[in-house]
Amino acid sequence: MLKVGLTGGIGAGKSEVSRLLVEYGAVLIDADRIAREVVEPGTPGLAAVVAEFGEEVLAADGALDRPKLGSIVFADADRRAALNAIVHPLVGARSAELERAAGPDSVVVHDVPLLAENGLAPLYDLVVVVDASPATQLDRLVRLRGMTEADARARMAAQATREQRRAVADLVVDNDGPLAGLEPQVREVWAELTRRAAEAG
């Protein structure tokens, strides 16, 4: 099994890269999706978040009000750390479970948005970074996701810098250009990953 960490700044196009890798045969473990699952209504994760942040982070239907919680934690590093202390161990445990379920010859891709920020590179056999310039990220967040420029800049500022991400990369996918330029690069990355998995096996 080859354990791959996949990361990239918000708006860099990591989701598209992970989608292509799955098409080629990778087993995807999506930390963001798991992070949502571990705080669904009725979970110990949600109970812990409410105990820490109060009932006001719940929506009327009892689910987590993500925008409300986001507005609290993005503005305050200590509150963000408190949330991470609840969610990260739960995500780690579920990720390990999914990894164990993958076959021994699998290329397991862990999609981890905050890999560089949380010093997680050593957990993986290699790290793939999806890279785009800050100008490209900003344009995509405003144009494609409908964020205000101020909100987009704040989200970007809360993450590692481009240089910090590239510093932990074993392989870099340049996603500054159009979508058509992405597929051939990801195919090359996949060839490298399967080669390494075969060597490891």
Domains of the chain listed by start with CATH number: 1-26+106-201 (3.40.50.300), 33-103 (no CATH)
Mean pLDDT over each residue of the chain, to the nearest integer: 94
For residue 127, the cross-strand partners are: 5
pLDDT confidence of residue 180:
86
Longest dimension (CA), the chain: 52
pLDDT above 80 for 199: yes
The percent of residues above 70 in pLDDT, for the chain, comes to 100
Helix (H) or strand (E) holding 126: strand 126-131
Distance of CA 75 to the CA centre of its chain: 20
Residues in CB range of 189: below 8 A, 6 or more apart: 21, 128, 171, 173
Is residue 171 helix, strand or coil?
strand
Burial 168-183 (b: 16+ CB within 10 A, else e): bbebbbebeeeeeebe
Digit-coded pLDDT (tens) for 50-102: 999 999 999 999 999 999 999 899 889 899 999 999 998 999 899 999 999 99
Q: Is 34:41 a contact under the CB 8 Å cutoff?
A: no
pLDDT confidence of residue 200:
82
Q: How far apart, in whole angstroms, are the C-alpha atoms of residue 149 and residue 70?
A: 17
Q: DSSP character for 117?
A: T
Amino acid (one-letter) located at 103: G
Residue 152: exposure state from Cβ atoms within 10 A (0-12, 13-18, ≥19): buried
